Structure 1
Amino acid sequence: MTDISSPIRVGIVGYGHLGQFLVDRIQKKGLAAGLSLAFVWNRNADKLIESVPKDLILTNLSEFTQIKADLIVEVCHPQIVKDFGVRFLSHANFLVGSPSALSDSQLDKELRLTAKKHGKTLYVPSGALWGGQDIQRLNDSGSLKALSIRMSKHPSCFRLAGGTFSDWAGEEGRCVLFHGSVAELCPIAPNNVNTMAAAAIAASTLGFHGVTGEIVSDTALADYHLVEVEVTGPDGFSVKTVRRNPAKLGAVTGSATYNSFWSSLLVCKGHGGRVYLC
């Protein structure tokens, strides 16, 4: 039975669709799960006024240290991870909703060292990644040889940096936008490839440079995103999974990922000084 006398205090950073979902879920079901809200921050604080109690609204993110939070959850943009990730981990466990930020090897190193130094956990949610724990076990045993992930979505669902590949936007049919290392892909599509980033973290022996990623624009995918993962091990061993994640047109995140993220949040009870895929 969960001890609700001292719930884990959660700070939510970002109030887009996923942030709204988490805040609402914590407000309605948090106590039963041993969770309570410490604060909510959004770049535009006015967006919070009607749905978040005034005393929980944090207007200046730099002031998070003045509020006791056991766990900070980032669900907005990789830049926040780069600007505040080390500081977050210095004070609380940190669930990074934009793990594509960790494709920056220096930032990844700093976060890992900070987690170890302060005995905090850097949590990485599985999101739309199916079989992440299995990939991690294969990796940790030294048996992982290769990992590739293809994500196919309707063109309206992509948010690419700086107008990248803008010439494909009006094309009908299927178009491969990128095929290469996840390290190269993350800066191009930081909001679309967090699933790949989670996989690269699980496959730490391969890392972001060793995991292959492909994004595909497909106008036939009006109702769901398609995530295909292929894992290769020793002696001809391989596993291929295909996940259809229901999603509306224009949605960056598939609907099934919301509940997956909530499940990840419930795991964040403190695993001490390391990176933990949840």
Structure 2
Amino acid sequence: MATSSPAQRIGVVGYGHLGQYLVERILKEGAGLGLTLAFVWNRNSDKLKGSVPAELILDDLSAFADRRCDVIVEVCHPKIAKDFGSHFLSQAHFLVGSPSALSDPELNHKLRQAAERHGRTLYVPSGALWGGQDIQRLSDSGALKAVFVRMSKHPSCFRLTGDTLSDWTEGEGRRVLFSGSVADLCPLAPNNVNTMAAAAMAAGTLGFSGVRGEIVSDTALRDYHVVEVEVTGVNGFSVRTVRRNPAQLGAVTGSATYNSFWSSLLVCKGHGGRVYLC
């Protein structure tokens, strides 16, 4: 008689809106999909009490290996990838929900090496990026010349370092906050440009320094974020997509991205010691 394979054990690092969404779906639907929670960690563990079963709360993230995970999902801050990414990959596949962390060349190289050394997969979710696999295929074939990504949001949706947007006023309209390489943009808006980081990972021949990004504050965008992607290839090839992602005022992540991230998690079954866009 055939036996069913054991459930895939998932560790969730971060319990903001996206973390809560993932935990709730795993608890409700995981059994039917071959998923089970191994642990949930949050910087403020008090936030977990009452909503996450006590036995699943991990107080000390450095003890994650005790929970024997198949996949660890980061959905809180790029610093987690820097501090724990290589350790995660020594024990499990790693879905990095803040791929802006990979704009650091040293960390990018370190995590790629860890994935290869341990035979684990460093998964990069597509998020709000449309056509990521197509960009990757174009890059792999040597036919990719340029990628440009513009993200436009209501100013309340940005989480920027410094005081770039401290003076915004309702009704001011459209303001370009930054235009340049994604490598330079990621440190300015680490929580807002993960879509661009995913594009930079897909466009391997261009990388973070070669992919261009622009963020735009627009007080007219009260109900959605706009993501525009322009891809240029050889022999006059080009594609331009415009995605309108429904989002509430103040929301860093658009609502459609939650389902996209869930779909990415379901892909994380192991793809060898490499980086994989999902």
Match of 2:65 in 1: 65
Match of 1:127 in 2: 127
Match of 1:53 in 2: 53
1:170 Cα deviation from its structure 2 partner: 5.6
* Equivalent position amino acid for 1:194 in 2: N
Are the counterparts in 1 of residues 115 and 273 from structure 2 also a CA contact under 8 Å? Answer: yes
Are the counterparts in 1 of residues 11 and 37 from structure 2 also a CA contact under 8 Å? Answer: yes
Are the counterparts in 1 of residues 146 and 206 from structure 2 also a CA contact under 8 Å? Answer: yes
The two structures have a TM-score, normalised by structure 2, of 0.97
How far apart are the structure 1 equivalents of 2:277 and 2:233?
A: 20
* Equivalent position amino acid for 1:206 in 2: L
Structure 2 SS opposite 1:235: coil
* Equivalent position amino acid for 2:277 in 1: L
Q: How does 1:101-250 map to 2 (within 5 A)?
A: 101-168=101-168, 172-250=172-250
**1:40-66 alpha-carbon deviations (Å, 9 max, x no partner):** 000010111111111110000000011
1:33 Cα deviation from its structure 2 partner: 1.2
How far apart are the structure 1 equivalents of 2:104 and 2:113?
A: 14
How far apart are the structure 1 equivalents of 2:169 and 2:231?
A: 31
How far apart are the structure 2 equivalents of 1:36 and 1:170?
A: 44
How far apart are the structure 1 equivalents of 2:203 and 2:12?
A: 27
How far apart are the structure 2 equivalents of 1:252 and 1:189?
A: 11
Match of 1:6 in 2: 6
1:163 Cα deviation from its structure 2 partner: 2.4
1:4 Cα deviation from its structure 2 partner: 5.5
How far apart are the structure 1 equivalents of 2:106 and 2:58?
A: 29
Are the counterparts in 1 of residues 164 and 177 from structure 2 also a CA contact under 8 Å? Answer: no
Structure 2 SS opposite 1:231: strand
Structure 2 SS opposite 1:248: coil
* Equivalent position amino acid for 2:239 in 1: V
Structure 2 SS opposite 1:123: strand
- Stretches of structure 1 that go unaligned for 5 or more consecutive residues are none
* Equivalent position amino acid for 2:249 in 1: L
Match of 1:41 in 2: 41
**1:108-133 alpha-carbon deviations (Å, 9 max, x no partner):** 00000000000000000000000000
Are the counterparts in 2 of residues 139 and 204 from structure 1 also a CA contact under 8 Å? Answer: yes
* Equivalent position amino acid for 2:185 in 1: L
Structure 2 SS opposite 1:199: helix
How far apart are the structure 1 equivalents of 2:40 and 2:64?
A: 10
1:32 Cα deviation from its structure 2 partner: 1.1
Structure 1 SS opposite 2:90: helix
Q: Runs ≥4 in structure 1, deviation > 2 angstroms? A: 162-171
How far apart are the structure 2 equivalents of 1:88 and 1:163?
A: 34
1:5 Cα deviation from its structure 2 partner: 4.5
Are the counterparts in 2 of residues 93 and 270 from structure 1 also a CA contact under 8 Å? Answer: yes
Aligned positions, number: 276
